[in-house]
């Protein structure tokens, strides 16, 4: 196995170039996937026994493969989310009976990001994971009533965001 000094030297020498390559490969994949690919490659290198003959080339191959895997996982996740959202009723329908243009999955994700973490997780758990408020209450260590109130508040906030989006789109036309 590599010594920590040798691993550190390899990091100092190659990490920036590997990150650049990973970012190029990961492209539009959201989050920190490129950084994760590089870190994972170095973690795997630290545990290799025997050490690869050319650690720099080995790291490059591992980062390339990790980036390809990250892209595939992202595509699968987007596909699963699209299927899940298509299988659900139109829960963003405003209470006043007006209709909304169907929001894209990107718009829904952006709207969900406006919610606080717990409220967002409760909305997702109830709508996409079919969890009851009792189950949600156990997960978040809150009462069922609190889970329901947070869910209702989240849905109201999402409706408001979607209504604002629709109104701004109508003004643009």
pLDDT per residue, tens digit, the chain (173 aa), is: 889 999 999 999 999 999 988 888 877 655 688 899 999 999 999 999 999 999 999 999 999 999 889 888 888 888 888 787 676 555 555 555 545 556 666 777 778 888 888 898 898 888 878 889 999 999 889 999 999 999 999 999 988 888 877 666 656 65
Alpha-carbon torsion (35, 40, 46, 48), positive or negative: negative
pLDDT, tens digit, 9 for 90 and up, residues 51-89: 999 999 999 999 999 988 988 888 888 888 878 767 655
CB-based contacts of 168, cutoff 8 Å, min separation 6 = none
CA gap 58, 56 in Å, rounded: 5
- In angstroms, rounded to a whole number, what is the distance separating the alpha carbons of residues 90 and 96? 14
Specify burial of residue 106 (Cβ count, 10 A radius: 0-12, 13-18, 19+): exposed
Mind listing the domains of the chain with CATH numbers? 4-86 (no CATH), 105-172 (1.10.10.10)
Query: 88: part of which helix (H) or strand (E)?
Result: none
């Amino acid at each position: 196995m590599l010594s920590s000094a040798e691993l550190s030297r390899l990091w100092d020498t190659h990490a920036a170039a590997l990150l650049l390559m990973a970012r190029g490969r990961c492209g539009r994949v959201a989050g920190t996937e490129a950084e994760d690919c590089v870190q994972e490659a170095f973690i795997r290198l630290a545990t290799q026994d025997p050490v690869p003959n050319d650690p720099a080339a080995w790291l490059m191959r591992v980062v390339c493969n990790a980036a390809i895997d990250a892209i595939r996982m992202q595509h699968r996740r987007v596909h699963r989310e699209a299927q899940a959202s298509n299988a659900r009723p139109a829960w963003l329908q405003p209470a006043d009976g007006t209709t909304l243009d169907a929001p894209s999955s990107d718009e829904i994700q952006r709207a969900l990001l406006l919610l606080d973490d717990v409220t967002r997780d409760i909305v997702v758990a109830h709508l996409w994971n079919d969890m009851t408020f009792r189950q949600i209450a156990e997960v978040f260590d809150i009462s069922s009533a609190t889970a329901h109130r947070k869910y209702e508040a989240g849905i109201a906030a999402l409706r408001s965001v979607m209504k604002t989006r629709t109104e701004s789109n109508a003004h643009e036309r």
